Structure 1
């Protein structure tokens, strides 16, 4: 029985997964050469089996009978890239504000601190920027407190008061005491005070 072509092997490996799969050419380097893999992916794209949504990133899209192909969010794409590259990322600025529900505005440029390679990736009209940072900034443990630290720095100390501070303290009630205590040691002093206050409120 003849062996399958590289194209067939790549196709079979893709379609055995659920739709919505994000992948890169490197996921197939066990099948054939870089040139053969890129050729197979280019052919599958022309056949509309997959879509290239950014440089080196492909999608096996979900299908909707009304809306057609469904696409992952830029946040999901950023998390995929981080996982692929074995890198840590933390949303900063407007991205952190939106993720916490403190802003309804969808940022056109998502910025993440990372210990991976610096890069900027365009996804349609949006972009994802990965900025190298110090190990200290990435040493935070809390999924919520880490976002609060970044969001608070975006807001600024002078604007952090009243209803906004109360809202952030409420959000932090979903964080663990251990994470609040740990991350307070890594945050700027004025943000550390907010994390410490949230920790006290958990005990009440």
Structure 2
């Protein structure tokens, strides 16, 4: 009985050593106990509010703030999950368009594009959707060239070329060079306006 009661404490102590947003999975805790015991301990910690279950078999430690225990920031959780799952995960096309000044509307839902399967994450009351996206929408993660591609995807076929003129003013020469490099995997309705822009200098 003592062994079972100590397992949640051991997991909680381990979780306290991790950086904000780091995922806690049963497979990384099997040195502390068998799978059934670890699963039970994780569930118990989640019920107590000491861990947050964000997805099946994935937990994170809440952050202690002056307002109480809160979920870690979405950005840190997404970055940690991308590393854990070996996926590319980037903000959705609407978010890219907002960053680049093409729209003032902020997406109502938190949506990220992923190279992996679609999933729904829950960080306490916050719901985050991961949507599988084609490879071309995931280029240059975390860089302006990638934002440009995703913003043009948001604009669509009829407006992408016109929008690129606005986007280009926010890109440095190195950003434009990276945008040129990813043209081979872009659909023609994005690659062509990029080529025309480069040709104009």
Q: Same fold (TM over 0.5)?
A: yes
Deviations 1:131-177 (A, max 9, x none): 2645xx27834632223222212212322466x43431123327545
Does structure 1 residue 187 correspond to structure 2 residue 192?
Answer: no
* Residues 62 and 71 in structure 1, CA contact (< 8 A), matched pair in contact too: yes
Instruction: Report the counterpart of residue 69 of structure 1 in structure 2.
Output: 69
Secondary structure, counterpart of 1:191 in structure 2: helix
Change over 3 Å in CA distance of 1:106–1:133 after alignment to 2: closer
Change over 3 Å in CA distance of 1:95–1:49 after alignment to 2: same
Aligned partners of 2:42, 2:21: CA distance in 1, in Å?
Answer: 16
* Residues 113 and 138 in structure 2, CA contact (< 8 A), matched pair in contact too: no
Instruction: Report the counterpart of residue 149 of structure 1 in structure 2.
Output: 149
Aligned partners of 2:120, 2:30: CA distance in 1, in Å?
Answer: 22
Does structure 1 residue 49 correspond to structure 2 residue 50?
Answer: yes
Secondary structure, counterpart of 2:185 in structure 1: coil
Change over 3 Å in CA distance of 1:176–1:8 after alignment to 2: same
Secondary structure, counterpart of 1:152 in structure 2: helix
Secondary structure, counterpart of 2:69 in structure 1: strand
Deviations 1:42-84 (A, max 9, x none): 222233322223433322122221x323333445433332221
Change over 3 Å in CA distance of 1:107–1:174 after alignment to 2: farther
TM-aligned CA deviation for residue 11 of structure 1:
1.9
Structure 2's unaligned 5+ residue stretches are none
The correspondence of residues 123-134 of structure 1 with structure 2, limited to 5 A, is 123=122, 124=125, 126-131=127-132, 133=134
Secondary structure, counterpart of 2:27 in structure 1: helix
TM-aligned CA deviation for residue 13 of structure 1:
0.9
Aligned partners of 1:8, 1:174: CA distance in 2, in Å?
Answer: 53
Aligned partners of 1:160, 1:19: CA distance in 2, in Å?
Answer: 38
Change over 3 Å in CA distance of 1:6–1:185 after alignment to 2: same
Instruction: Report the counterpart of residue 38 of structure 2 in structure 1.
Output: 37
RMSD (Å), alpha carbons: 3.5
TM-score by length of 2: 0.73
TM-score by length of 1: 0.72
TM-aligned CA deviation for residue 32 of structure 1:
2.2
* Residues 50 and 60 in structure 1, CA contact (< 8 A), matched pair in contact too: yes
Instruction: Report the counterpart of residue 9 of structure 2 in structure 1.
Output: 8
Aligned partners of 1:14, 1:125: CA distance in 2, in Å?
Answer: 21
